[in-house]
Structure formats: structure tokens, C-alpha cells
Amino acid sequence: MNRSLDLENQPSPESSDSGSSQVLLERVDQLRQGLSGRFHDEVVQTLYDDARRIADRSVRHQGPERFHLGEHMDKLITHPILGLPIMGVLLAIVFWLTVTGANIPSAIIAGALMQDGGIAAPLEQYMGITSPAWMSVSLYQLLHNVMAWAGSPLWLTGLSLDGVYLSLAWVISVMLPPMMIFFPMFTLLEDLGYLPRVAFNLDWMFKKAGAHGKQALTMSMGFGCNAAGVIACRVIDSPREKLVAILTNNFVPCNGRFPTLIMIATLFVATRFPPAWSSVAAAGTVVAVVLLGVMITLLVSGALTRTALKGEPSAFTLELPPYRRPAFLQVIYTSIIDRTIFVLARACWVAAPAGALIWILGNVNLEGQSLAAYGIRWLDPMGQVMGLDGVILLAYLIAIPANEIVVPVMLMLYMQHNRMIELENQAMSNILLEHGWSMLTAICLMLFCLLHNPCGTTIWTIWRETRSRRWTIFATLMPLVLGIIACTAVATIARFF
């Protein structure tokens, strides 16, 4: 209790009420002695009886009792054994649809914005449509010609087109299509009432980890956006358990990180399988990474509640809401306007200056070497130990404000000298292979994508919610250290064999 507040609230001696309030409170205390301890229960019981009586008087059942699909579905979905596999399969379907559905629109957007061959090439390749010649020019080529015609100096063309514009084009073509597919599906599941059931299925695991059952809910929110997940932790009443939930929210990949996972899974895992199975394999890989994230969440929560944040788990009841038929138009509106555009806009705000920064890093030379080369060379030893390389680490440094731009930044850094504007899977995979990538790089990158410092917005949100510099620093560094350890361990073991 805050002392200054108490003083503030002391009745002033002159107040005519202070005497009577004193008398009142004394009388209350006397009367309380005489009441049975169960009077609260009696009052509540009366209230409930009245509510039942009133409701019964005005509610009528019409027609025969209908078959309640919801209850039967719940038996299956929250089944102690089947519940978890069903959850995995549902997630896999969502990712599979995202992976397969995003390919063609991504190629078309990339064609329109930057790829040589314009949209004519992907239309020809995927749909067998032959387009007129003017459609085989990308906006990037067009802008280049316009700038050259206007006599713009080379550095200006480079900074604005090869830096800012290209990085924006990358972010949009890599992120927009998967988000347009993933967000509506995620929101539909949420609207339907599936997310609380996920929480219900996972509840016992969180209890075992000594954490609050509602953490399963805040974790699910984290799949959308970790910053939103951290804010959602307010639903947990106990400060200790809230802190556990906040500190571990970053272990589930958010929407900004899914494109990275999906792309790596598509390029490196999918290509090892026959075409018929490739997208299934890619989706399965993403699901595996997600499940790993959930496992790490549980392990770290368990470690925290047994060490720094010891205490009794508090009980709570989670009510399963009824299934609702989702309002489709509303869902599409929310997921496109509120989520897709919101996330994309954030990514663009970060990508534009990052693009300029990359161009400067790549084109400002110091003793015959670009600044980027220095940075990459400096980070490379550490990257190699972790099964990654200097470019990937530099990309993660540049992408601290928003993880969405990791892949575009990485590719732009690789392609510094021969501007990379090719989005076709095989070509992209070849280019990465040329830069020394292997299956190990892909695995370590997916691990690092899961385990590294939260993005700038999330760090700021953690500070806002905890108001503690110590916990914010801990929340930032702990996943990073875990990531470095995990990647190094995997790389070391892999090289050993």
C-alpha cells in the first residue's frame, strides 16, 4: 500500500463525515463478528438461484433438441491423446496452404516490381500465358531508365533504386503473399474458437513447468506478433507467472519470422524431396520448428520457475467458448487491414532505411574494400562456429528493428555486386549454394531464427510491461545466448560426423 496515498485519503479532522464514518466502520466490525462465515456463499447462492429463475421464465426451447456439433468436436479436439496430433496437423495444413499458395503471387509481384522479365515470365512459366512485350519490363528497369534519362548521378540512382527501392520490393514480394494467406487463416481459427482449445490442450504442460495455464494463450498470441503476445500477458494475474510468460514469449516464431522459416524450408528441405512431396516436406519442417519453439518455451519456463522465479502455480479455470461461425468478411477485413498492412507497413518503414544502409555499406570503400565486407569478415568467424556465416549475422544485426527483413537483407548482402533480383526457387537455392550454404547452414539458420534476441518493438514492449531494465536486458540476451549455444552445438556435432 502506498503511504502517501493513505495520507492523502485520511479524512480531514474538520470533516463532519469523519466522525460518522468512524462510527459506521466500528459498527460494521461489530456486526461482522455476529455473522456466520458462510454468509458470502449464501448470498451468492441466492443470486444464482434468482438468475436461473428469471432466465427460465423468458427462455423457451423451440423445436427438437438439435445435434450439437460443437460438443462432439470438442471431444475430439481436446482429446487427451488425439488433441495434440490434431493440433499439429491443423498447423501443418495452414503452413502447407501458405507455402503452396504464396509461390505464384510472390513470383508475379517480384516480376512486376524488380525481376528481369517482368510479370510476363512468371505468367508464362506458371500459367502458360503469353503476354505482350511491354509486360516483360519490371518497374525497377523502368525506373532505372527514367533516372538515367533524367541524368541522375550514379550514387543517387544507387542509393534510391538499388538501395531503398530494391529492399522495399523485396520485403513486399517475400512477405505480402504469405501474409495474405496466413493471417486470414489464423484469424479464422481464432474466430472459430480454436485458440482457447489449443490453450486447453497445452494447459497441463505449462502447469508442469510451474507456469500459468493462460501462458498457453499468450504464447498462441505470440505466433501473430511477439509484441502483442507480451501485451497479452496482462491476462495473467500473478506478477511472477506474468514475468515468466513475458520472458518466454519470444520463443515462438512470429509472423515476421515465418517467411524466413518458410523460405528456408522451401529452398533447402523441399528440394530434397520429389516434387509431389516437396511442399508437404516444407510445411512439416516449419511445424517441427514451431513445436521445437513450444518445447523450448516449456523448458525455459520450467527452468525459470525452479530458479529465479520460484513459487506456487496459481489455479485458474479456462472456459471453452462456444464455437462460432466466423464472420468471414470481418475476418478478411481484420486480417488484411489490421494485420497484413500493419505488419507490412512496419517492415517497409524499417526496410527503406535499411536498404539505404546496405547500399552504403556495400558501396563505400575503405582501402579498396566495402564497409559491408569488413563487417562480414569481422562476423564471419563467429558465424562459422555457429554453422552460419558473417552475412547472416550482419543481416540479423541490421534487422533488429524488424525481423521481417532478414531474408531480403541477407540476399542483398550476398548480391551486393550482381544485384540479386531473381526470386525463382531453384535459382535462389543455387545462389545460396554458391555462397557456401549447406543443409547445415539451413538448419542452423532456422534454429537461429527461433532463438535470438526479440525485435526492437518487442524489446520496447517488454520494457513497457515490466518497467524493469534488468528483466528487459535478460529477455533480450537470454534467447540470443541460447541461440548461439544451440547453433554452435548443432554445427559442432554435424562437423564431427
Closer CB to other proteins, 72 or 306, in the complex:
72
- Binding status of residue 34 toward other proteins by CB under 8 A: yes
- Does residue 318 belong to the site contacting other proteins (CB under 8 A)? yes
Site for other proteins contains 27 (CB under 8 A): yes
334 binds other proteins (CB under 8 A): yes
Phi, psi dihedral angles at 205 (to 5 degrees): -70, -40
Binding residue (CB under 8 A) for other proteins from 297, 301, 461, 476: 461
- C-alpha grid cell for residue 348? 517497409
Instruction: Tell me how far apart the alpha carbons of residues 353 and 359 are, in angstroms, rounded to a whole number.
Output: 10
Q: How many residues bind other proteins (CB under 8 A)?
A: 85
Q: Rule CB under 8 A: is residue 349 a binding residue for other proteins?
A: no
Name which of residues 212 to 271 contact other proteins (CB under 8 A).
Answer: 214, 217, 224-225, 227-228, 231-232, 234-235, 237, 239
Stretch that binds other proteins, among 106-114, 167-175, 185-193, 430-438 (CB under 8 A): 185-193
Cα gap 485→179, rounded to integer Å: 31
Neighbours of 451 (CB within 10 A): 22
Q: Compute the distance between CA of residue 321 and CA of residue 318 in angstroms, rounded to an integer.
A: 9
Q: Is 38 exposed, middle or buried (0-12, 13-18, 19+ CB in 10 A)?
A: exposed
User: How many alpha carbons lie under 13 Å from residue 441 in its C-beta half-sphere?
Assistant: 19
Residues 47-66 close enough to bind other proteins by CB under 8 A: 47-48, 50-52, 54-66
User: Position of cell 505488419?
Assistant: 343
| Maximum Cα–Cα distance across the chain | 95
| Residue 211 to residue 154: CA distance in whole angstroms | 58
Examine residue 315 and tell whether it contacts other proteins (CB under 8 A): no
3-state secondary structure (DSSP) of residue 421: coil
- Helix H or strand E encompassing 365: strand 365-366
Q: How far is CA 103 from CA 108, 135, 374, in A?
A: 9, 20, 35
69 binds other proteins, rule: CB under 8 A:
no
Please list every residue from 98 through 127 that binds other proteins, using CB under 8 A. none
33 binds other proteins (CB under 8 A): no
Work out how close the CB of 475 gets to other proteins at its nearest, in angstroms, rounded to a whole number: 15
Strand partners for 369: 366
Residue from 80, 276, 417, 467 in contact with other proteins (CB under 8 A): 467
Residue 11 in contact with other proteins, rule: CB under 8 A:
yes
Question: Please, what is the minimum distance in Å from the beta carbon of residue 191 to other proteins?
Answer: 5
In the complex, least distance from residue 179 CB atom to other proteins, rounded to whole angstroms: 12
Can you tell me which of 13, 14, 28, 315 binds other proteins, judged by CB under 8 A? 28
Specify which residues 365 forms β-bridges with. Answer: 370
Torsion sign across C-alpha atoms 288, 291, 297, 299: negative
Question: What is the smallest separation between the CB atom of 359 and other proteins, expressed in angstroms?
Answer: 28
Give the separation between CA 488 and CA 497, rounded to whole angstroms.
15
Chosen residue from 249, 457, 472, 476 binding other proteins by CB under 8 A: 457
Q: Which of 80, 133, 319, 470 lies at the binding interface for other proteins (CB under 8 A)? A: 319
CB of 222 to other proteins, least distance (A): 12
236/267 with CB nearer other proteins: 236
The window from 35-43, 100-108, 155-163, 438-446 that contacts other proteins (CB under 8 A) reads: 35-43
**Does 89 interact with other proteins (rule: CB under 8 A)?**
no
Q: How far is the CB of 350 from other proteins (least distance, A)?
A: 14
Q: How far apart are CA 114 and CA 424, in angstroms?
A: 13
State yes or no: residue 401 binds other proteins (CB under 8 A).
Answer: no
Task: Report in angstroms the alpha-carbon separations of 97 from 178, 179, 260, 449.
Answer: 9, 11, 16, 21
Nearer to other proteins (CB atom), residue 339 or residue 452? 339
Nearest to 339 by CA among 167, 466, 190: 190
Residue of 298, 305, 154, 162 whose CA lies nearest to 238: 305
> For the window 406-445, what string marks contact with other proteins as x by the rule CB under 8 A?
----------------------------------------
Determine if 193 is a binding residue for other proteins (CB under 8 A): yes
